[in-house]
Amino acid sequence: METTTMPLKGVKVMDLSIYVAGPACSSILGYMGADVIKIEPVKGDPYRLSGRGYGVPAEPDMNPICDSCNGYKRGIAVDFRSDEGKEILRRIASSADIIVTNYRDKALKAMGMDYEEIRRVNPKVVYGYFSGYGTKGPEADRPGFDATTFFSRSGFAMRGTYKNEPPMATISAAGDSISSLGFCVGILGAYIRARETGVGDKVLSSLYGNALWVMGISIAQGQFGYVGPFPKERPGFIALSCDYECSDHSWIRICGMSAERYWGPLCKAIEREDLTEDARFATSKAQHDNLEEARAIVQAEFIKQPYEVWAGRLSKNDVPFERNCLTSEISSDEQAWSNGYLEKVVYENGQDVALTTPPFSYQNTVPDADQKRRGPYLGEDTRDVLTEYGFTSDEIDVLIAGQKVLQWQGQEAKSHA
């Protein structure tokens, strides 16, 4: 039976974060029904400019990259340095159920938004604090970014590197997006307890911590010599766990974790059943010891046919596989659309873009009709939000005139340009 009540309906979230990991976390909370208010400086979240480096629109009224991690929110723009701006932050924080931030401690203290200050006026608040390297240790104050802290420091970039090549190119904000999920889980756990006890907590998460969690199996392997001579000629521990080029230059990835289970079906699929009982390849141990020989034999077969032929044969023999796709192909993937993993956002200029949605849904819950995937324009909801927090219309006019806040006025609101 369907219900229209989302799990976090009525929960107030103050999003005082920039770039990706923090905003993506609060976006997930918004997707679950929370009332998320994104609070930006009057010049805007610096991530609003990111699209310019990729040739993607980064305009005041069309910004797909920034919107990717800022959907399901309202937005206001405030001068954090002014007394008036600090008062706005205090009012919103005093009644928030959850605060999400990734500003560093010095900046938070200057705003009057550090945890110790906020908990005095709002002891039930769940205060999510996201950092680069964690809050302890000699590098606690270092700035952290996805490419450096998540991918490089964790060993991720080198783990996927081929011989005689530089570290793998990192994927735009992938580490941030992954980290937002871990951050969100911690916040929700603390919120459940706060709702029951009336006592909040400070939830600590970081890029480095999330990266190590993601790399946990590889880190365990590394302590027993799995990486061996490094970098490897090609990643893989058995021939059933490698990439192979097809005749149409597509690359197919096989993921048969056990030779004992999948070697026979693969041999049948590539019409080399003579290899099924070959002692060099019949077990995972033997195949690991003869990896390059086994991989070369399998590659010699795959290069003879295009991907579609192999897809049919591998499916028929129940061998796990997938084509290595380009991200430019995903926006037309029927499987993604069928499951609601993509949502079409139509901008005011009429152009539409497919944006991803959080990686879960509720079978018996229907999202609110006014829930919007697009992120807020800079200062889009300033007047409405300030009104809700007790500011009169005249007071808001004075704040706008004094540039203590910014209210979206269509293309005229270009403070971040």
Over residues 132-151, the pLDDT tens digits come to 999 999 999 999 999 999 99
DSSP 3-state assignment of 154? coil
Domain ends where: 285, 303, 328?
A: 328
Active site includes 67? no
Q: What's the pLDDT tens digit per position in 46-71?
A: 999 999 998 999 999 999 999 999 99
Q: Are residues 250 and 153 in the same domain?
A: no
Write the CB contacts of 336 (distance below 8 Å, at least 6 apart in sequence): 330, 342
**Average pLDDT value for the chain:** 92
Q: Are residues 162 and 262 in the same domain?
A: no
Q: Are residues 18 and 139 in the same domain?
A: yes
Q: Are residues 57 and 118 in the same domain?
A: yes
- Is the residue at 252 inside a domain? yes
Q: Are residues 285 and 387 in the same domain?
A: no
Write the CB contacts of 181 (distance below 8 Å, at least 6 apart in sequence): 25, 28, 359
Q: What's the pLDDT tens digit per position in 284-320?
A: 999 989 999 999 999 999 999 999 999 999 999 999 9
Instruction: Report the distance separating Cα 96 and Cα 241, nearest Å.
Output: 48
Residue 169 is predicted with a pLDDT of: 83
Token couple for 252 = 């197919």
Q: Are residues 135 and 32 in the same domain?
A: yes
Range of the domain at 321: 243-328
pLDDT at 413 over 60: no
- Is the residue at 366 inside a domain? no
Rg (CA), the chain: 25
- Is the residue at 131 inside a domain? yes
- Is the residue at 414 inside a domain? no
Of 67, 176, 201, 381, the active-site residue reads 176
- Is the residue at 27 inside a domain? yes
Residue 233 is predicted with a pLDDT of: 52
- CATH code, domain with 27: 3.40.50.10540
- CATH code, domain with 263: 3.30.1540.10
Q: Are residues 200 and 256 in the same domain?
A: no
* Helices of type H across 199-248: 207-214, 216-222
Q: Are residues 108 and 22 in the same domain?
A: yes
Q: What's the pLDDT tens digit per position in 89-129?
A: 999 999 999 999 999 999 999 999 999 999 999 999 999 99
Domain count, the chain: 2
Q: Are residues 184 and 280 in the same domain?
A: no
CA-based nearest residue to 132, from 18, 39, 16: 18
Domain ends where: 328, 359, 393?
A: 328
- In contact, 233 and 162? CB cutoff 8 Å: yes
Q: Are residues 39 and 186 in the same domain?
A: yes
- In contact, 140 and 133? CB cutoff 8 Å: yes
